[in-house]
Amino acid sequence: MSTVYALLFIVATIVLVLGLARKIVQYAKTPAPLKIPTTPAPVTQTGVVMRMFREVVFFESLFKSTKWTWIFSWMFHMGLFVVLARHVRYFVDPVPLPIALIQPFGIYAGFAMVAGLGGLFLRRIFVDRVRYISAPSDYLMLLLLIFIGFSGLMMTFLIHTDVVMVKQFFGGLFTLSGGELPMDFALIMHLTLVAVLMIILPFSKLLHIPGIFFSPSRNQVDNSREKRHLASWAKKLEES
């Protein structure tokens, strides 16, 4: 089973990295023929950087749109960020001081992550306009994330696993030296769901993770009066 899961995570990592790289290249090459920043928009490049920072960290536009959705979404994303940072300890040795300091907070960030996901799931069920545009994949993706968070919390508070063996397994995976994986039910469920998420992420709506940085409505400077905007293909036509 350790060999099976080692191969599974190698395949999942390859799919994740290559899939994300392919989509990022596609996003970067997609032309933006129109100047369409959502107003009020910054008129300088520095303003665009600050706007993107507020959007990525604080979800500024979502906060202005709907407070309840913002609360649940921010809880989930910030909880996930801390949880992922906490998991760095399984892949590096020695553990950096900042990662060591957030370990106690990472435990409770898992609760925030699951609570936020639960709120987003209920929103898709009980809010009419959201339920109308929701596809089955939207529910399944939320359930997948909820069960990943739940299985992680289960290992922390109910069914403890040997974290030393887990660290040795992933350390051996990166160095191709092998390692034994504990055969705990909660751990196996957690790792299986994580591998599934890694494989389907490059083909799902979760691509908004890199996509936000390529959104013309967010990354464009509002200077259409001062500077003519031309897509790359339009520039070539004009030159010819």
> What is the mean pLDDT of the segment spanning 167-194?
84
> Which residues have CB under 8 Å from 127's CB, separation 6+?
none
CATH number for the domain formed by residue range(s) 1-239: 1.20.950.20
Q: Where are the domains of the chain?
A: 1-239
Which pLDDT score is estimated for 224?
Answer: 82
Confidence of residue 33 (pLDDT cuts 50, 70, 90): confident
Which pLDDT score is estimated for 136?
Answer: 94
Packed helices 163-175 and 2-29: angle between N→C axes, nearest 10 degrees = 60
Which pLDDT score is estimated for 239?
Answer: 65
Contact 102, 84 (CB under 8 A): no
Give tens-digit pLDDT for 96-124.
Answer: 888 888 888 888 899 999 999 999 999 99
Contact 226, 47 (CB under 8 A): no
Backbone angles phi, psi at 34, to 5 degrees: -120, 155
Burial class (CB in 10 A: 0-12, 13-18, 19+), 112: buried
pLDDT at residue 90 is higher than 90: no
Give tens-digit pLDDT for 196-206.
Answer: 999 999 999 89
Which pLDDT score is estimated for 213?
Answer: 93
pLDDT at residue 174 is higher than 80: no
Which pLDDT score is estimated for 240?
Answer: 63
How far, CA to CA in Å, does 44 sit from each of 38, 51, 55, 128, 223?
Answer: 14, 11, 16, 39, 8
